[in-house]
Amino acid sequence: LIFMRVQNKMKQILLFILVGLSLCRCSELGLNTSATARQLDPRPTGIPIASGTLLPLNGQSSITGNVLIFLQSPSSYILRLEGLNITWEAGLKIKITSTQNGITQNPIYLDLRFNNGNQNYTFSTPGTNSKFDFVYIYSTQSILDYASARLFTN
pTM above 0.95, yes or no: no
At 127 the pLDDT is 77
Choose among 150, 153, 101, 146: nearest CA to 125. Answer: 101
Contacts of residue 152, Cβ cutoff 8 Å, sequence gap at least 6: 50, 51, 52
Per-residue pLDDT tens over the stretch 94-112 = 999 999 888 889 999 999 9
95 Cα distance to chain centroid: 9
Mean per-residue pLDDT pooled into runs of 10, the chain (154 residues) = 54 51 42 57 93 96 95 92 94 94 91 95 87 96 96 91
